[in-house]
A and B are shown apart, each in its own frame.
Chain A
Amino acid sequence: MIRSIGIVGAGVAGWMAALALGRALPGASISVVETEGPDWSLGPFGPGETCLPGFEAWLADHGVEEGALLRAARGSFSLGTAFSGWAGQEADWFLPFGTIGAPIGTIAFHQLAARLRAGGQALRLADFSLAAIAAASGRFARPSPDPRSVLSSYGYGLDLDRAGLAETLRLASGLAPVGRFRRALGDAEITAVELQDGTQVTADLWLDCSGPTALLIGHLDSGWESWASWLPCNRAVETWAEVEGVPPPYAHAGAFEAGWQRTVPLIGGQSGALLYASAFLPEQPGAIPFVQGRRTRAWTVNVVALGAAAALVEPLHGYNLALLQNAITRLIGLLPAAPDGPEPAEYNRLAASEADRVRDFAILHYKTNGRTGEPLWDQARAAPVPETLAHKLDLYASRGRLPVYDEELFDPEEWIAVLDGQGVRPRRHDALADAIPEPQLRAHAARIREVIVDAVRRMPHHGATLREEGLLP
């Protein structure tokens, strides 16, 4: 039975865990210990963080008012991520938060699109996504709850300043840090944490939310699986630029010769992170080294690693916050009921499997890149990938199908959006798509475009929505 929980790391991961566990275990005492330096609890990827749709529901469940969070964290809305320079030096595509096109009967839209392409019609899948079109025209309104409306075909994420996000979560938890971390005590398990003032904190269960330095779990026999051979970026430079005006309603990932640049637009500024592979670019000022990978046992003895202490993966899309959110939910569902129980093993099975699927999703962007004549990208294209990803790629290349594994964070539709954006074309399409007369197909596609364009035209601009909600002067 857990009566006390110690959390090391007073950043986004630490306060999110404190808030959720405080609500789940009202009787337990929770001690949050601050650490030195910036909040890298989700990785050293810039002062802004972005999330996937679904986070707003988590906030509501945990008593955090979305408007208050947005105000505290320079927040704005996001409809997806724009990728430039990945499919080729000059090529752009968009990964939207929402559905793409509409099926005919049981035939998926991307299969219909493949048939149209075979008939000579050039098209991009994202042009059939309301979220992508709205993003491109700088518009945003909250989705409609009416399932018959095309305005229900998308979700939204939030772009947030991580310090403001952490502070909002802290306020909701009603807690304050108990002190600053000096060192962890214990060998086979963490027996206590010593603070700068010399006092010792003890707890039944420790949560390591200290980011890549892994101040607690790093001491234990928790294992680390490196993904460096698949994901070459190992340096990050965090930047912040004051910017005036209305932020675009999407994040941006722009590839360059030696890596990529992340941009998360906030009110009044832009959070940036330059991620690169040290072998391909001279060391940059302020570069933070990191190794991508995951803890073999995110839960080891009496320590559960959350956030970047558990899995560190470059933030191509807003999945790091989603991984954290799922980890906390999973932990709460598996809170130990007795010593030496089966909970850690099950937790680790699920955590490892979920992290590995996100790893595959990230590697996908490298494996299918279209930048030629640049060693990093040429090597990434040629390198072997994990078997689970290879099977997916083979099936997709064969006929546009995607198997779904257990613990997938992303749906097939999102994988397809990436594959299509990167220019991967299946050799064949669903035979059933051939059964539909071509004029009917063309009319179907045209009708979807028409409905989307019409809906987007009537949508307010992102700035108007932000002003309406009091987020922008």
Chain B
Amino acid sequence: MLVGRILVVGGGTAGWMAAAALAHKFAGTRLAITLVESAEIGTVGVGEATIPHIRHFNATLGIDEADFLAATKGTYKLGIEFVDWGRKGDSYIHPFAAFGDPLDGVPFHHQWLATEGAGAFEDYSLPIQAARRGRFRRPDGDPYNYAYQFDAGLYARYLRAYAEARGVVRREGKVVDVALDGESGFVRSVTLESGETLEAELFVDCSGFRGLLIEQALHTGYEEWTHWLPCDRAIAIPCANKGPLAPLTRAAAKQSGWCWRIPLQHRTGNGHVYSSGFTSDDEALEVLLAQLPAEPLADPNKLRFVTGKRKRQWVGNTVAIGLSSGFLEPLESTSIHLIQVAIGKLLDLFPTGDWDPLDAAEFNRAMALEYERVRDFLILHYHATQRDDSEFWRHCRNMVLPDSLAYKLQLFRERGVVVQYREGTFLEPSWLAVYLGQHVTPRHRDPRAGGEGVAAALATMRADIAAAAEAMPRHEAALGMGA
């Protein structure tokens, strides 16, 4: 037995992604999906940059790529460039692909480490070489993946049209009250400012940071991770495009945080994520403005957040998705991904009329794991640094790591082995990119590495990759924008 009515509370990226996915999945059933949002309440529009999983989300919904890119002013993305993280003056790229090919059954990075004069690690990544040249081509059987950068507001609008065309009813209004069932503690209905009451069996809380249902009504509680990830504010500001369109998101480390730069077709998104414990809002704005590549197109938008996650993300008949479920800074473009994972798990565990508590327990277990594994990956960026030029970086270098990360880092530092998991978003190539990009060099190598002929094989690999990258069209041409 399906639940009959779903109410999605909040219409930002999370809300419309959830509504669109539900509408697609339950097309042809009697399930009624309503989304309530208020034009008065702004949306945060989390993360305009994504990771490749978004392609799967769009493909499942049957969304045409060209149509989507046109509607969202989107660009292609081959990775994230990290500037000044390990040391000032550094630049490395985290691509969505493995580096090199294993030789003699030995992991590639060990062969690279063992070979004198093997060039840079990034010479062995086709997507990085393409990105460095401002080039892009959709992989055709090639072993790399790509994602998008797009206007999240336009994406929400695009999905709204998609969802409404499939029967989702949009209600305009501000939620002023939430009614709980006295016995079960389930949410029964929400009341709008107009006095109207909306009932449902399942509530999806996409109301953003405040967690209208999951926190304000259900008092679920929040697990803070600020001792590991001290940034707690952000300022965002768009500016005009300048120069070639990079198929890359850029994350540049600053004195007390980092600045993002996300090129779209029509503008560049910029922002500064920083820690209020180490710098003032005015200073942070100055830092952001000083590094803008072109003139701003709007006033700065200021945000506050607490890094962490809701203790439980599915409580009773309420499932929190998006910022209501937790917040991890967009350093690895995971915000939209975490929304997508939550939607996938909700569809997978879609409640039936009897509300077996196992469904919520499994959802919460899986989401907690997902959040924690992304969290560890983010902490690595801050901790694995040699920067000593500010209090902020000294704090990050010296902080006590979560055990799960300390173990991973030790194993790589000693032996160059990446701890692998079956569940989790970031796999071995991602960890390698950051470890090696931030100078975590293994003390010992695989004893099999560095055999005869390896140097020659590496030289061939490097040359092949450079040639393939050179042969790709420019990013603008790949987007059909003209150069």
Contacts and interface: CB of A to CB of B under 8 A. Distances in A.
* A and B found bound together: yes
Interface in A330-366: 332-338, 341-343, 346
Interface of B is mostly: loop
Interface in A425-439: 427-428, 430-432, 434-435
Contact of A395 (B26, B362, B423): B362
A132 B422 CA distance: 28
Contacts of A342: 410-411, 414-415, 417
Nearest to B448: A24
Contacts of B365: 403
Contacts of B358: 394-395, 398-399
Interface in B346-366: 347-352, 354, 356, 358-359, 362, 365-366
A406 interface: yes
A149 interface: no
Given A2-B447, A106-B60, A333 B417 contact: yes
Contacts of B138: none
Contacts of B27: 435
B276 to A, nearest CB: 37
A432 B411 contact: no
Contacts of B446: 333, 335, 337
A407 interface: yes
A240 interface: no
A434 B447 contact: no
Contacts of A408: 422
Given A335-B446, A394-B358, A346 B411 contact: yes
Contacts of B25: 106, 432
Interface string A95-117: 00000000000100000000000
B482 interface: no
B1 interface: yes
Nearest to B354: A428
A405 interface: yes
Contacts of A252: none
Contact of B422 (A335, A346, A405): A405
B2 interface: yes
B1 A431 contact: yes
A170 interface: no
A260 to B, nearest CB: 30
A249 to B, nearest CB: 31
Interface in B409-424: 410-411, 414-415, 417, 419, 421-423
B29 interface: yes
A228 interface: no
Contacts of A332: 105, 448
A432 B27 CA distance: 10
Contacts of A399: 349, 352, 356, 358-359
A235 interface: no
A406 B421 contact: yes
A106 B28 CA distance: 15
B52 interface: no
B444 interface: yes
A431 B348 contact: no
Contact of B28 (A25, A395, A435): A435
Contact of A334 (B2, B60, B356, B415): B415
A60 interface: no
Given A335-B446, A342-B410, A406-B423, A428 B349 contact: no
Nearest to B422: A406
Nearest to B410: A342
A341 B416 CA distance: 11
A338 B444 contact: yes
Contacts of B350: 430-432
Interface string A314-338: 0000000000000000001111111
Contacts of B352: 399, 428, 431
A363 to B, nearest CB: 20
B128 to A, nearest CB: 25
B422 A337 contact: no
Classify the secondary structure of A's interface with B. Answer: loop
A279 interface: no
A337 B362 contact: no
A337 B1 contact: no
Given A24-B448, A394-B358, A395-B358, A346 B417 contact: yes
A434 B353 CA distance: 13
A381 interface: no
Given A342-B415, A346-B417, A404-B423, A431 B2 contact: yes
Q: Which of A332, A333, A401, A404 has the most CB of B within 10 A?
A: A333
Contacts of A338: 443-444
A407 to B, nearest CB: 7
Contacts of B411: 342, 346
A122 interface: no
A398 B359 contact: yes
Given A334-B417, A395-B362, A406-B421, A428 B2 contact: no
Interface in B1-48: 1-2, 25-29
Nearest to A346: B411
A72 to B, nearest CB: 25
B107 interface: yes
Contacts of B60: 106
A393 to B, nearest CB: 11
Contacts of A432: 25-26, 347, 350
B33 to A, nearest CB: 14
A337 B445 contact: yes
Nearest to B29: A435
Contacts of A336: 447
A1 interface: yes
Interface in B391-418: 410-411, 414-415, 417
Interface in A402-424: 403-408
B26 A403 contact: no
A434 B417 CA distance: 46
A238 B373 CA distance: 47
Contact of B447 (A1, A394, A401, A404): A1
A244 to B, nearest CB: 43
A37 B415 CA distance: 39
Nearest to B105: A24
A430 B448 CA distance: 49
Contact of B419 (A341, A346, A401): A346
A24 B102 CA distance: 13
Contact of B356 (A2, A25, A398, A404): A398
A385 to B, nearest CB: 16
A199 B236 CA distance: 75
A405 B349 CA distance: 17
Given A394-B358, A434-B29, A404 B444 contact: no
A427 B366 CA distance: 22
A435 B348 contact: no
Nearest to A436: B28
A106 B349 CA distance: 13
A257 to B, nearest CB: 35
A23 B443 CA distance: 25
B2 A335 contact: no
Given A342-B414, A428-B354, A431-B2, A337 B444 contact: yes
5 contacts: A24-B105, A337-B446, A342-B414, A404-B423, A432-B350
Interface of B: 1-2, 25-29, 60, 105, 107, 347-352, 354, 356, 358-359, 362, 365-366, 410-411, 414-415, 417, 419, 421-423, 443-448
The 9 A-B pairs of least Cβ separation, nearest first, read: A337-B444, A435-B29, A406-B422, A431-B2, A398-B358, A342-B414, A338-B444, A431-B350, A398-B356
Given A332-B448, A333-B107, A431-B2, 18 more contacts: A24-B105, A106-B25, A106-B347, A337-B444, A337-B446, A341-B415, A342-B414, A398-B358, A399-B349, A401-B348, A401-B362, A404-B422, A404-B423, A406-B422, A406-B423, A431-B352, A434-B2, A435-B26
